[in-house]
Structure formats: structure tokens, C-alpha cells
Structure 1
Amino acid sequence: MRTQKCLTLFCLLFGIIASANAYVERDLLQKAADIPELKSVLLMDRQWVPYPDYTDRTAWEQFLGDYRNDYIKQGEKRLDYEWKVVKATDYIEYERSGNRRIMEDPFGSNNGAIADLVMAELAEGKGRFINQLINGVFQSCEMTSWVLSAHLSAQHSKRSLPDYKEDVIDLTAGDLGSLLSWTYYFFHTEFDKVNPVISERLRHELQKRILDTYMKEDRFWWMAFNYKPGTLVNNWNPWCNFNVLQCFLLLENDKEKLAEAVHRTMVSVDKFINYTHSDGACEEGPSYWGHAAGKMYDYLQLLYDGTGGKISLFDQPIIKNMGEYIARSYVGNGWVVNFADASAKGGGDAPIIFRYGKAVGSDVMMQYAAYLNSLSTRKSLSSGRDMFRTLQSLLYAKEMGEVEPSYQSPAYTWYPETEFCYMTNKAGFFLAAKGGYNNESHNHNDAGTFSLYSNTTPVFIDAGVGTYTRQTFSNERYTIWTMQSNYHNLPMINGVPQSFGSRYKATATSFDPKRMTFTANIATAYPEEAGVDKWVRSYTLNKNKGEVKIQDSFTLKELKEPNQVNFLTWGKIDVSSEGIVRIDVNGEKVELLYDKNTFTPSVETVALDDPRLSNVWGKEIYRLSLNAGKMVKSGTYTFTIKQNNK
């Protein structure tokens, strides 16, 4: 029963109900080519592959350049690697305790070893890594499933132990499928010299688990073939389809079958592009951009290559907008604007941002990628088990290195459909606010919240999300504090926080670039028991001074409990002076001014025991609560945030 409840909320969060206004039937890919047209333009027999054959050692030395020895050294670390067994109880543990890592860690370690061995053998070409690669390939083939325990609810049994009677395609099955397809492409002849059964078995498993399963199944939610109004289509769609497309283009030799399969992926990916707002913002946040818009770009690039450039969406404005979101969401010094489950750290992967930018003709993206690259200390261009990204990064490395690094936050960026608003000023403030609704992908109940950075340092923050467990994607999700509106920069109205669901959303959102003001009515994000008729929140950024004014104008239907306005901050808080809250974040000092006759402040220290949070923020963050002393049916609260340079 509990497993079924988990699946139900997983569907609610990631596959069933979303904003009814999000979907527009553009069908750009299907309009670009039908199956007969595909048959006429598809490049067969892997003619589209832009990399040297394994045996062309001179070409590989030139292709890898200065990175060659790094790949060999990384592979040498795997020569004595002990391949890990993923035990049955590791899968079952997900049902017992909600722990995903006990299954994912050994599985991920094996997959990473395969990727390292592939690149090492391509770099050296002497056969030194072949035996270990065979061990990894054969062990993978012996596994019942390549799907994560947390995703096996897609089985008919709904259980977390793999069922030998059926195959499922999830993110990791697709990742491993594409990695092993590249392994087969480069090394099947070398495997045959040892024993032909190795390649035969690998080819069989790829056919059964990926190619046949994709063509015969419509039931996986991420495919969105049975799309209904309100269905959410998130990063799973382009990610899985990108992996599937690689497998087909590398393995399928029948043109009829290949055209049918490629077109099927086009129909599916169209659902993701249709779902995305034309403003291009990623509602899942920057951490997921590489898996959402980024995987969509990889898919489109692969489709472009596989058809000799005959099928391309790179001139479509929405595709460019989706790309530039990652650059515009960068604050500086490694910090990004994070909403939902996204982390506040990480500016994206420079090579894919560059490639995407080049494809769509975006100087913003290419210069931003060069900027990120100039800060990088990486010795190799590796994307782990994503072999396509690793090889593409190498293909474009020299060109990216020739671009002048440059990045400066624009004065403002407004996403009117997704309802994200970024504002910057001359004093070093970066203000990010959002409207939206409380059933976005990887949703937090956060309609109307904001983050504020002073000279790239986060001051008022969105904590992000902890390590994923069964609870994260279950009917217990909103018992987790990081998901709740009262641990975002939002009010508790009549003692009531925001609720989960598409009906709970910001309304009447607007942005005035002249006044640098973002406004939203967030009353509609609260349930009926909040007794609120109107709660209009506005954020105004002073263009020249380090000052932000926050105003809450409200009308309540009834009075139940005093209102509480919460602020989550990274810095130490001093509330010793009435009407002033002093915040110090690593020497960056900010003051929040409030009406001392209306509010009494209190501070909660939020200990961060989860490494996914503590790796970003350290051991603790703080929640400032301004507690109203009087209950009134209508009124206006005003808060001013100022830099304190004294």
C-alpha cells in the first residue's frame, strides 16, 4: 500500500498534473520531417560519427591532444578495479528504509569504471584495458536490470526489486545503454578476438533492454505519448530520448526500422518542447538545466548529425531561449539562482554550454562558457558515463579555448510565462524573485519567494534540497522542511503555509523594468483555511543603491492567528536592535528594516546534517521570523533590505 502511495505522488510530481497553461502544440520536430523524409536523409552505417576509428592511432592522438595522458592515467586506476555486486537486498532497501544510495553507489561506481576504461583504451590503443572492459561489459549484461531501485516502480509489480519478466527504461538504463552502445561501436572487433560471445551478448542485451523496449512500450510516463492537458513533461523526456537515439543510430542497420524509431523519439521530444514556455526558462532550476534543456540540445545535435544537418531546430527562438537561461541565471563566484530542487552552487558545464551556444548562434552562451572554462581546473574533459558529451567536449575544446571569456549579469531578465524575474544594480545587488505555481517539476511550495545576493554572496536564500530518498518523491514530500513555504522567504498567513497543487499559484504577476519592480498576488497559493482574500507582494530594487523594498499588501477574510513573515538566510543574525536585523555573511553586511511596532523577531538555527545541503551552506543556516503582534484584516507590511558598508 505504501509503495502505491509513493508511486501516486511521484506521478503527481513528475508525470500527471501540472499547469494547464504550459503546453503549446508546436510539434516542431514532427513538422521538420515525417518518416519518408527521414528515410531519405538518415546517414546509415554510422557515417555521421565524427570521431576516428579505434585503430586510427594517429587520428586519436590528434583528437585527444593534451588530454590523452590524463585519460590513460584515469584508466590505469581501473586496471585492478573490483567490480561491485549490486545485491538483491540493495534494491529491496529502498522499500525498507527509503535509502537509494545503497543500490546506486556500487552501480554508479561500475558504470564510471566502464567509461574510464573506454576512454583510456581509445587514448592508448594497445589493448591494455580490454580485459577489464570485458569484465565490466559482461557484468552489466548479467544484471537483471540497469534501472535504479527508486525508478523500478515503473514495473507492473511496482516493487523495487528487478523483475526478470520485463524491461524498463529510466535515466540510468538509458545512460548505460548509450555508454555500452559506444563501447560496442568502438570495440566489438577487439572483443571478437577474445570471444565473439562477448559482442553477441552485449548486442543482444542492448536490443532487448533498449531498442525493443522503446518501440513496444507506450506506458513510461516520460515518453508523454499519451499526453493529456495538464501533464508535466520534465528532464526525463529529453534525457531518456537522447540515450535511446544514440542506441538506435549506433546499432540499427535497417533503414525502415531506424526511420520509424527516430521519428518515434521526435514525437516524444516534441512533448517536452511543447511543454516548455516560449520564454525558455527551466522551472526545475539551473542544476537541472543540463539534464533538461542541455539533454534536449544533445538530442537535437545528434539528430542534426545523424541526418547530415537536414533536420535542425537551432533557428527556433524557443531553443535559443532555453539555452540562454543557464547564462542569465548565473550570479557569480559559482552561485546561481536556485528554485525548486536545484542547488545554489554550480554555473553549468562549460563544454555543453559552448556547443549549445554555437549551434543557436548565442554569443552570450559561448562567452559565458569560455568564462566558466577559464575558471576550471579540470585536467580532462570527462562527463562520466555520458560518452557522447565527453567526445563532443573534445571535439569543440580547441574552438572554445579561442573564445574571449566574458560574463556580466544583465540589468534584468524577465521570464513572463515561467514568472522568473532577475534584477541587478550598480551597488552589487542581484535580486531573484518568482511567481509560478506549486506543482512545477521538482516542486517546492515557493510561489512568490525571492533570493538576494550582495556582491555575488547569497544573503537571503533558497536552501535547495537534501539527499534524495523514497520520502522525497512520496506522499511524505511536504513533511520535509526544504519543501515548505515557511522555510522560504514567504509569509505564514493566519498561521497557514502554502499548499501543493496546480491550483495553488501566484496570480497577477508583473514586472516593471522602469521601476525595477516585480509584483505577484500570492494569496492564491494558500489553501482556503488561510482565510486570505488578497496578498500582493512586490519587490523593488533601487537601481543605484544597495537597497531592496519588499511590500506585502493584504486583505484577510477572517482572523485566526497572527501572521508570520519568514526569511531564510545564510548569514549570522543579530536582532538585538529593535526594528533592525543585522546579517553578516562572510563579511558581507546587510540590514533588514521592519516596523518594530508591528513585529517581534525570532531566529531559528537550522542544522544541516545532510551533505547535499551542508556542502553548499556549511553546518547551519538561519530562519528569521517576524511575528505580527496584532491581528488585522487588512494592511501593508514594508521591509527594507540595505547594504551596511560601515
Structure 2
Amino acid sequence: MDRGQLSACLTETPHNARLLFPDGTDPQQYWRRLRDAEEYRAAVEEIRAEGERLLREPIPELTYSLFAMFERSGNRLEFEKVYFEKRRRLTTMALLALIEPENRNYREALEDILWSICNEYTWCLPAHLKGSLETDGGQTFDVDSSEWSRRERGTRIDLFAAETGFALCEIVRLTEPRLPALLRSRIVEEVVQRIFKPYLLHGPYHWETSENNWAAVCAGSIASAALHLIEAPEQLAPIVEKALASMDCYLAGFGDDGACLESVGYWNYGFGFFIYFADLLHKRTRGAIDLFQSEKVRRIAQFQQKAYLEGDITVNFSDCLQRANVNIGLTHYLACLYPGEVASPPLQLRAPYTEDHCSRWAPALRNLLWFDPAKSGTRWEAADYFLPDAQWLVSRYESADGTYGFAAKGGHNGEPHNHNDLGHFILTCCGEVFLCDLGSGEYTDRYFGPERFSFDCNGSQGHSVPIAEGRFQTEGTASAAQCLDIFVGEDRIVFELELAKAYGLTQLRSLVRKFAWHKAEKPLLVLEDRFAFKAQPAGIVERFVTMIEPVAEGGGVVAMRSETGRKLAIRYDERQLEPIVRRSTYRNHFGKETVWYALDFAVLRPQPEIAVTFTFQFCS
């Protein structure tokens, strides 16, 4: 639709806090019911406990030395630790001021953190303002002009600046009856200057046409803020129009199978902000614009249930944590939109209030507003999924012996938040991960630079894939897997991939990896790799990645034993292969040094054409 039609769809009525509540709901009565209801008790107590902690602490300051740290050393964590602590204070005090409006301490703490965030030099992270410490080259400026001081920071919008603008506008709408007029006007002024004007006057930004989470989070946050703040449809329409174009780009990044190549953590993030915007837009247009009717959106909504192996164990391909709980509000909202198609996990998987280290306002609020106790599930049900565009195979299996998970992937090595991991796989048993994906490492300047694949969690050296002639897999979309066969049966799954293009070796004619997953009482995985070289190869190594120390038992068996006594036995031909265990460490997403093991099997007599077979057997 054109801008005139869009303006006609947008309502002219004041859009106060009722935009967040069903028709006929009194917001103040809602918060009182929430405070007293038993089903919300755990969530409210988590928020209240965090509020009491924060009241004992001063508002932290984002100092120059913290701001400069990324530019000088590449370190992000120290600045972001303080930045996100301020956002935690904002989210916590705003929620508590709504839940307990009579509490003066919460109200004053909210006012102070709102003022402090309005005073921040920038709402962007330093990692997204590279070059900001560079000198101005000796230029002089007219003292009557202040525009130069905002030249860079005043026109930049990143994920977190957009999120901050969204959070402030929503908090204003929810608390405006009790928020001082000066503070309200200050917030509006800052959002207009830092978000709306740059978006309309200084774009286009790189993320406006991104096919990943940036488009949904940035454009969705800005347009959501505008839906709350701007009353006149003719002023609102240009922002919504731009945001809708970005949403088209975001959705284009998904295949028809609805898989998020950035894994479930970024599905929560990007798709979550898409949904928050779509919900507000649907209400503001009285249903005239309904993004939920898209068949692709419907399939993306079903991705979360396909991205878990059991409990909180994720299929954490790409930059994703191995274990993650669910945003219960988003999940219940989607389950209501698409009944019978979106699974509701057990309430035990509800993400605790403090789990989000970024302390994002939008999901925290909706984990309360959209929570539906009637939608609690009991577990992730046993299921098999093949996602053809992503080339992901995911199997959740239950027997009398326990619960088991198997996932494997093809795809290509030019994916968002890419890891070089074609042919990689994960094995779990009864809540424990035996063969793992290391997931996301610590985000630094180098992590997203030319050295990205030197990090073990990103390069194929840190994945369960072959090493051909000493070569790891190469990055780029040309390094692509070809799915040769997929069979999903009741008792057996077969998944076969051609991986030769991943290695960039003209000498390597073919590398076919075949998985056969046998779903017995104690399931069995048979893995066969068939290599075809033009001449005798210099060497072949099969690598498997785990955080459980492997032990060679002899007789062609290497075993991994968990702390609970479960065992995974890896059987191989000892006449053909020699096992070596290598202990390594990497810095995980939170900067913690973490131990992992590479279980390498060196082929003793490599031939131009050779097949290597392993069986992975779970034992009591």
C-alpha cells in the first residue's frame, strides 16, 4: 500500500497504555491483579528481589575509559556490563513502579534512571561506533554551532539505541499519569533527536535492508516507539512505511522452512521484535495491517520447538548458547495466534527474570503481559524434523531408557553469525550433551573481524567434522553442502551430505558424510565418511568435539562418561584409525575460560579412495 493508504489505516485516537492491553482492560486493575495472583508470584518475586538489590547500589556511570576500551583493546564486556546494568535498573524499576505504584522508592529510582539514560553520551554500543575516538584532524568549529558534536553519535542508530528508544516510549505510556512532566518532555525530546530524526533524515542505514535480526530489531523498535509516541497518522506513516520495508528484508532471510540460521537465541531476539512491532501495528490499525497472516511468519513461529533437543538443550549451531530457557510471553502469544501449531513448553523452561544479561525491556514486559498459565506444556514431545532450506536434521527421541537428541547440519559457510561447520552434529542423552557445539564465544573486535575463524568456536577446528590434508573448512557461500539423501522413518533416519566444496581443495573430489540414526531402546548413530582424492592424500583426521573428557578403553572403543554415570561408547576400526585426545580452552560468550576436548582419529594409511566408519552407542 502507498503512504496515503497507510495513513488512512493508522488510527487518530490517542494511543496510551491501552495499546498494550485488550479492550476493556483497566491497566491499573491489571497490575493489581498481577501483583496478587498466585500464578505470577514467582515472576514478581524475581523482579522484586532484583529491585531490592539495585536500590542498594548507586546508578553506575559509563565513563570515558569504559567507552574507549573497545577502540583501544577490542574488549566489549567491561562497557557492556555497566550499560546493561543500567538497562536492568530501567526495566526493573519501571516494572516495580507499575506493580507497586504506592512505593515511592521504586518511583524515584525509575525517575533517576530515566534521567541518567537521557544523559548518556550515546545509546549505541562502542562496538557499533568504530572510529569514534579518532581526532577531528585539527578542524575548528564555530562556537555557536553544536551540530558537529553530534556528527557521528547523533546520527548513528544500532540495535541498542533503537531498543532504548522503544523502551523509553513504552515506559512513558505506561507510567505517564505519575511521571513528572519535565521527565516526559525530556524523554520525548531525546527519542526524537536520537531516533526519529536520524531514521528519517540520515539514512538509509545498513540494517534497513539486512536479512537478519538487525532489520527486525532496529526497524521494529523505532516503529514501535513511534506507534506509542506519534499521534498524527501523517507523521507516523513515513516511519511505519520504512519499517515495513525492513521487515520484508528480514523475512527474506528465512527459507520456506522457517529456520533461523542464527539459531534459537537470535530467533528469540529478531523474531521477537518483529512480533512486538506486528502486534502494536495490528492494534493501531485496528487489524487493517496484519503481518501474522503471512505463511512464512507462521512457519517461522514454529521454529522454536524444532530448535530444542530436550529440556533447555538447544540445537546451538551458529552463535547460540548450549542451554537456554524460553521467553514464555512470546511463546504463549504465538501459541494463541497459531493454536495447535506452536508448542508450549513446560513452565520450568520459563526464562527467569535475570537470565537476559542485556535486560531488554520489551520481552521482560511481555513475559508478564502475554503469559498464559493455561498454556503450560509438560515437555518437548518426541519428534523428527528436517528443515530443507537450512539443511538441518533434528531428532528428539524417547525410549524406556530415557530421552535422546540428535542434530546434524549442512547448509553453507556464509550464513549469518556463521561457523564453518558443514556436516557437524550434536548428541545428547537424558539432559546431558555428549557431542557438542561450542556455541558463541566472547564478542570482541577480533571475533567479528578477519580473524573470526581462528576462534575455535567459529572455525571448523572446533566442530565435529573431518580435517582433510591438514585443511579446515573455508568460509563463504561457495563452501556449501549438497544434500544427497534424507529419509525420516519411525525407527531410523538417514541423512547424507556431500561436503567436498567446504574444503577448497582441488585434490578432494568428493567427501560424503552419511548419518544413520537408529532409534532403539538405547539409540545408535552410525557415521560413515567416504573420501575420494585425485591422488594419495597427505593425511585425514576425523574430529569429534565434546566437553566430557574421552578415555580410550582399548579394543577399538573410546568412551565418554558423564557425571551421572551415562556413557557414550565410540567404536572404530583400530587397524585403520589412531585416537588422540587434545584438551583445549576457549572464552565463552560471557568471557569465561571453558575447557573442551577434540577427540581426533588419524587415518593410519590414507588412500585416494577410503571409507571411515564410527558407531556411537549409548550405554547405561
Alignment of 1:14-413 (within 5 A): 33-44=1-12, 45-46=14-15, 49-51=19-21, 57-66=28-37, 67=40, 70=45, 71=47, 74-126=50-102, 127-153=104-130, 164-165=150-151, 166-188=154-176, 190-192=178-180, 196-224=181-209, 233-365=211-343, 367-368=344-345, 371=346, 373-376=347-350, 378=352, 385-397=359-371, 400-413=372-385
Structure-1 residue corresponding to 2:475? 500
Structure-1 residue corresponding to 2:144? none
State which drifts further: 511-520 or 131-140.
131-140
Indicate conservation of the 8 Å contact 2:485/2:497, yes or no: yes
One of 402, 409, 426 as aligned partner of 1:434: 409
Compute the displacement of 1:614 (Å). Answer: 6.0
Structure-2 residue corresponding to 1:484? 459
* Aligned-partner Cα distance in 2 for 1:98–1:106: 16
Compute the displacement of 1:604 (Å). Answer: 0.7
How has the CA–CA distance of structure 1 residues 613 and 83 changed in structure 2, closer, same or farther, with 3 Å as cutoff? closer
- Where 1:85 maps in the other structure, the secondary structure is coil
Compute the displacement of 1:158 (Å). Answer: 11
Compute the displacement of 1:55 (Å). Answer: 10
The Cα RMSD (Å) is 2.9
Indicate conservation of the 8 Å contact 2:558/2:570, yes or no: yes
Indicate conservation of the 8 Å contact 1:374/1:405, yes or no: no
* Aligned-partner Cα distance in 1 for 2:485–2:34: 50
**Residue type matched to 2:529 in 1?**
D
Indicate conservation of the 8 Å contact 2:467/2:541, yes or no: yes
How has the CA–CA distance of structure 1 residues 107 and 609 changed in structure 2, closer, same or farther, with 3 Å as cutoff? closer
* Aligned-partner Cα distance in 2 for 1:266–1:154: 31
How has the CA–CA distance of structure 1 residues 376 and 348 changed in structure 2, closer, same or farther, with 3 Å as cutoff? closer
Indicate conservation of the 8 Å contact 1:570/1:585, yes or no: no
Compute the displacement of 1:76 (Å). Answer: 4.3
Indicate conservation of the 8 Å contact 1:211/1:244, yes or no: yes
Structure-2 residue corresponding to 1:512? 487
* Aligned-partner Cα distance in 1 for 2:11–2:554: 72
Compute the displacement of 1:73 (Å). Answer: 5.5
One of 403, 422, 429 as aligned partner of 1:447: 422
* Aligned-partner Cα distance in 2 for 1:477–1:498: 13
How has the CA–CA distance of structure 1 residues 597 and 377 changed in structure 2, closer, same or farther, with 3 Å as cutoff? closer
Q: TM-score, normalised by structure 2?
A: 0.88
How has the CA–CA distance of structure 1 residues 408 and 119 changed in structure 2, closer, same or farther, with 3 Å as cutoff? closer
One of 403, 421, 444 as aligned partner of 2:393: 421
Compute the displacement of 1:625 (Å). Answer: 0.3
**Residue type matched to 1:107 in 2?**
Y
Compute the displacement of 1:406 (Å). Answer: 3.2
Deviations 1:483-540, CA, capped at 9 Å, x for gaps: 11122110001111101111111123431114511111000111136x2110010101
Compute the displacement of 1:257 (Å). Answer: 1.4
**Residue type matched to 1:167 in 2?**
T
Task: Please list every run of 5 or more consecutive structure 1 residues that lacks an aligned counterpart in the other structure.
Answer: 1-32, 225-231
Compute the displacement of 1:287 (Å). Answer: 1.9
Deviations 1:541-577, CA, capped at 9 Å, x for gaps: 1132521111111211234521000001232312140
Deviations 1:579-634, CA, capped at 9 Å, x for gaps: 2111212211111111111111100112356474869xxx5321110001112111
* Aligned-partner Cα distance in 2 for 1:122–1:384: 21
- Where 1:129 maps in the other structure, the secondary structure is helix
Structure-2 residue corresponding to 1:574? 551
> How many residue pairs end up in the alignment?
591
**Residue type matched to 1:572 in 2?**
E
Indicate conservation of the 8 Å contact 1:591/1:641, yes or no: yes
- Where 2:394 maps in the other structure, the secondary structure is strand
Structure 2 residue 524 is the aligned partner of structure 1 residue 553: no
State which drifts further: 569-578 or 51-60.
51-60
**Residue type matched to 1:396 in 2?**
W
* Aligned-partner Cα distance in 1 for 2:351–2:466: 42
- Where 2:457 maps in the other structure, the secondary structure is helix
Compute the displacement of 1:324 (Å). Answer: 1.4
Indicate conservation of the 8 Å contact 1:434/1:448, yes or no: yes
**Residue type matched to 1:475 in 2?**
P
One of 438, 442, 446 as aligned partner of 1:471: 446
**Residue type matched to 1:323 in 2?**
A
* Aligned-partner Cα distance in 1 for 2:525–2:135: 49
Compute the displacement of 1:273 (Å). Answer: 0.6
Structure-2 residue corresponding to 1:637? 612
Task: Please list every run of 5 or more consecutive structure 2 residues that lacks an aligned counterpart in the other structure.
Answer: 137-147
- Where 1:431 maps in the other structure, the secondary structure is strand
How has the CA–CA distance of structure 1 residues 634 and 613 changed in structure 2, closer, same or farther, with 3 Å as cutoff? farther
Indicate conservation of the 8 Å contact 1:572/1:622, yes or no: yes
Structure-1 residue corresponding to 2:142? none
Deviations 1:108-145, CA, capped at 9 Å, x for gaps: 11121122111122122234433332322222222221
Structure-1 residue corresponding to 2:603? 628
How has the CA–CA distance of structure 1 residues 290 and 509 changed in structure 2, closer, same or farther, with 3 Å as cutoff? farther
How has the CA–CA distance of structure 1 residues 155 and 318 changed in structure 2, closer, same or farther, with 3 Å as cutoff? farther
Compute the displacement of 1:381 (Å). Answer: 11
**Residue type matched to 1:505 in 2?**
A
Indicate conservation of the 8 Å contact 1:565/1:626, yes or no: yes
**Residue type matched to 2:473 in 1?**
Q
Structure-1 residue corresponding to 2:141? none
* Aligned-partner Cα distance in 2 for 1:362–1:211: 39
How has the CA–CA distance of structure 1 residues 541 and 50 changed in structure 2, closer, same or farther, with 3 Å as cutoff? same
State which drifts further: 62-71 or 627-636.
62-71
Indicate conservation of the 8 Å contact 2:311/2:379, yes or no: no
* Aligned-partner Cα distance in 2 for 1:59–1:289: 29
